[in-house]
């Protein structure tokens, strides 16, 4: 066992960064390539936000959100090839990506009671994955708060322009709002996430920062896999 009580060969990879830097795409590919589980913590905050909206609780009312934060039953599936998220037994993987949820998620995520509940669930998922070799966890505060003793910590970054172009490339139909509006929305959300008091979006001191602006997704995946494999070799030699 290591100092965290995990099997010595269990690997925890923390991947943090602002929206549109490639965390989900990179995390799922790295987990698949290395035979690890995968947890999308952003989907958990989105699911909590979706539940608040569905139950007519004002996301801008921190007291109401805090009071209700223990009610929804959230369940994350950690298969990187088919990750899932359900609320009270219902699959919400589609609805949590709506514009309404995206506009409200930062406010809900700033409520301390929401964070303490979801961090508890995230740590339980990390512990459960240890016997299966480990897990890649993506989010905003994984390396700083959720798993500060992670085997490898990565902080992905990219210019707002590159991130907006990528995000805009995903938006279709009525959701396509133009790259400038997308950039403004990303910058607004980044500011809210990094400016909040409780576990803000931040790079852990011991995280490796990768600027993905001019890298292809495959190059980012290759870089992260290389870092994990190097750390595994160092630990086996230690």
Ligand X SMILES: Nc1ncnc2c1ncn2[C@@H]1O[C@H](COP(=O)(O)OP(=O)(O)OP(=O)(O)O)[C@@H](O)[C@H]1O
Q: Which residues are annotated as a binding site?
A: 17-25
**Is 103 a residue that touches ligand X (CB under 6 A)?**
no
Q: How many Å apart are CA 12 and CA 116, to the nearest integer? A: 20
- The contact mask relative to ligand L45E5XJ5 for 119-148 (x = CB under 6 A, - = no) is --------------------xxx-------
Q: Which does 28 bind (CB under 5 to 8 A by kind): ligand L45E5XJ5, ligand X, none?
A: none
- Taking a C-beta distance cutoff of 8 angstroms, is the pair 31, 38 a contact? yes
CB-nearer residue toward ligand L45E5XJ5: 84 or 232: 84
Q: How many Å apart are CA 86 and CA 76, to the nearest integer? A: 7
Angle at 157 between CA 151 and CA 162, to 5 degrees: 145
**Is 105 a residue that touches ligand L45E5XJ5 (CB under 6 A)?**
yes
Question: For binding to ligand X (CB under 6 A), which residues are involved?
Answer: 17, 19-25, 42, 166-167, 169-170, 212, 215-217, 220
Which parts of this chain interact with ligand L45E5XJ5 (CB under 6 A)? 19, 41-42, 45-46, 105-106, 109, 139-141, 189, 193
């Amino acid at each position: 066992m290591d100092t965290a009580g995990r099997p010595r060969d269990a690997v925890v990879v923390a991947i943090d960064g602002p929206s549109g830097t490639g965390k989900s795409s990179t995390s799922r590919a790295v987990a698949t390539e290395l035979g690890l589980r995968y947890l999308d913590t952003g989907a958990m905050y989105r699911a909590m936000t979706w539940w608040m909206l569905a139950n007519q609780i004002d996301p801008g009312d921190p007291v109401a959100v805090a009071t209700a934060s223990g009610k929804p039953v959230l369940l994350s599936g950690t298969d990187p090839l088919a990750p899932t998220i359900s609320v009270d037994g219902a699959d919400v993987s589609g609805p949590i990506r709506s514009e309404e949820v995206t506009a409200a998620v930062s406010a809900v995520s700033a409520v301390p009671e929401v964070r303490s509940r979801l961090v508890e669930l995230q740590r339980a998922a990390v512990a459960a994955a240890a016997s299966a070799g480990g897990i890649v966890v993506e989010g905003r505060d994984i390396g700083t708060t959720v798993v500060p003793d992670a085997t490898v910590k990565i902080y992905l970054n990219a210019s707002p322009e590159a991130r907006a172009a990528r995000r805009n490339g995903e938006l279709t139909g009525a959701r396509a709002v133009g790259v400038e509006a997308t950039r403004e929305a990303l910058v607004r959300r980044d500011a809210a996430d990094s400016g909040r008091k409780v576990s803000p979006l931040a790079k852990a001191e011991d995280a490796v920062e990768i600027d993905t602006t001019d890298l292809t997704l495959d190059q980012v995946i290759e870089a992260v896999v290389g870092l994990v494999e190097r750390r595994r070799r160092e630990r086996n030699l230690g």
